[in-house]
């Protein structure tokens, strides 16, 4: 039997297994209702691990090609009566990690507005914080015939996953709206280092001499880049960097907005036990900052009198917190609109750079103490908004 599994093939083994099963179904070797075998049987048949088989089958289930019966095994599904064909319509697929994420929901608003203006149909998928579902959705949209893809990846390594590498190698029109560090890939986003700099520079200008940073994990590259901006602002203002003021929170892979909030909340609840307390903290994201603020206030710690806080993102909830949050605003809706423009130019063959970076701005509210300590300096600065 031809297995089509080859170690010399650059495609991942799970993708080869998936492709082979699809070929059998197409050729009629496997028919609707046929059992395709257990994980263990498929593992032996293809000489791969059970984990590899599970990933291949999961993709097939997400595509509706295979279904499971509890306690009975996996079966070939009946073909769909009519397959949606987008080849004659202008369409863009959007693959998101979580439609409920407060930042990416703003990005989607911008995508929807611009796609409508340019006459594109939009297909949006929610990967529900599952990397394997994200990858299968990319393939599914391509099978449907979309003209381009806008992707917010779950990968916290901030480098291209295998499906994104294939898009890139095949020159398929795509653009990332979640941070990707590799410079050759298509990306539309914010100058993250500048954002960290603006947040910290603001706290310096308010007169704070000890400023901390809440980091969400040493392997989180995006958090590290924002920390670089924090470090630059301290250095330029002759404030010695103190590693005791960099707090690495417990890292969570593919964490939800609620998980991020709880990271900050738990740290705030334990603030009184922190041996070296800064006067102010710059926090990786608004979700973590809002959790921190709630935890501090429940413990009787005043914001900003006991500790000042600056977040990052400017999600909608930031302005409505118990103490409205000073934060770095990412131009989320503009990034969404810009990503559609990049896709259109790539489809049309127009020359366009693969890294489109917008500058963030600082939004000053009560949590940093700026509205209490002294009149704001530099309010004519286009990078600063006082609310």
pLDDT tens, position by position, 99-134: 778 888 899 999 999 999 999 999 988 776 666 777
Q: Which residues pair with 363 in a beta bridge?
A: 327, 385
What the block records as the tokens of 101 is: 């994420």
Q: Print burial letters for 51-85: b (CB count within 10 Å at least 16), e (below 16).
A: ebbebbbbbbbbbebbeeeeeeebbbbeeeeeeee
Tokens coding 302: 């005043």
The pLDDT tens digits for 136-193 are 888 888 888 899 999 988 666 677 888 899 999 999 999 999 998 889 999 999 999 9
**pTM, rounded to two decimals:** 0.75
pLDDT at 335: 96
Q: Which fold has domain 192-330+361-386?
A: Rossmann fold (3.40.50)
13-76 has which CATH code?
A: 1.10.10.10
| CATH 3.40.50.2300 domain extents, the chain | 91-189+333-358, 192-330+361-386
Q: Return d(Cα 212, Cα 103) in angstroms, integer.
A: 24
CA atoms within 13 A on the CB side of 147: 21
| pLDDT score at 80 | 63
The b/e string for 201-213 (b: 16+ C-beta within 10 A; e otherwise) is bbbbbbebebbbb
How far apart CA 73 and CA 38 sit, in angstroms, is 6
| Dihedrals phi, psi of 168, to nearest 5 degrees | -65, -45
Q: Rounded to whole angstroms, what are the CA distances from 104 to 100, 110, 199, 233, 355?
A: 8, 10, 21, 28, 19
**Beta bridge mates, 361:** 329
- Write down the CATH number for the domain with range 91-189+333-358: 3.40.50.2300
Identify the segments of the chain with pLDDT beneath 50. 1-2, 82, 375, 377-379
Residue 191 burial by Cβ neighbours in a 10 Å radius (0-12, 13-18, 19+): middle
- Position 163 scores a pLDDT of 87
């Amino acid at each position: 039997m031809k297995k089509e599994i080859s170690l010399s093939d650059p495609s991942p083994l799970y993708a080869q297994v998936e492709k082979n099963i699809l070929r059998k179904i197409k050729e009629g070797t496997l028919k609707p209702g046929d059992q395709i075998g257990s994980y263990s049987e498929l593992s032996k048949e293809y000489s791969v691990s059970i984990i590899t088989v599970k990933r291949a089958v999961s993709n097939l289930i997400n595509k509706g090609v295979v279904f499971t019966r509890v306690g009975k095994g996996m079966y070939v599904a009946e073909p769909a009566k009519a397959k949606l064909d987008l080849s004659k319509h202008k369409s863009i697929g959007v693959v998101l990690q979580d439609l409920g994420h407060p930042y990416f929901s703003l990005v989607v608003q911008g995508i929807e507005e611009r796609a409508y203006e340019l006459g594109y149909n939009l297909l949006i998928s929610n990967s529900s914080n599952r990397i394997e579902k994200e990858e299968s959705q990319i393939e599914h949209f391509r099978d449907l015939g979309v003209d381009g893809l806008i992707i917010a990846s779950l990968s916290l390594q901030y480098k291209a996953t295998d499906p994104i590498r294939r898009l890139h190698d095949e020159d398929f029109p795509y653009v990332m709206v979640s941070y990707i560090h590799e410079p050759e890939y298509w990306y539309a986003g914010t100058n993250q280092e500048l954002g960290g700099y603006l947040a910290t520079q603001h706290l310096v200008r308010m007169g704070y001499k000890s400023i901390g940073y809440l980091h969400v994990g040493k392997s989180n590259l995006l958090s590290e880049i924002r920390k670089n901006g924090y470090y630059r602002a301290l250095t330029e203002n002759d404030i010695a960097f103190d590693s005791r003021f960099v707090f690495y929170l417990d890292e969570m892979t593919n964490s939800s907005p609620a998980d991020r909030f709880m990271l900050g909340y738990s740290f705030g609840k334990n603030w009184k036990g922190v041996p070296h307390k800064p006067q102010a903290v710059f926090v990786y994201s608004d979700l973590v900052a809002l959790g921190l603020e709630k935890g501090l206030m429940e413990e009787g710690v005043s914001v900003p009198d006991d500790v000042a806080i600056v977040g990052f993102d400017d999600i909608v909830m930031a302005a409505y917190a118990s103490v409205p949050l000073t934060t770095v605003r990412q131009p989320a809706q503009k990034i969404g609109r810009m990503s559609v423009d990049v896709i259109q130019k790539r489809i049309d063959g127009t020359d366009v750079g693969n890294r489109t970076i917008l500058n963030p701005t600082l939004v000053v509210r009560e949590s940093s103490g700026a509205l209490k300590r002294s009149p704001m300096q530099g309010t004519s600065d286009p990078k600063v908004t006082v609310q």
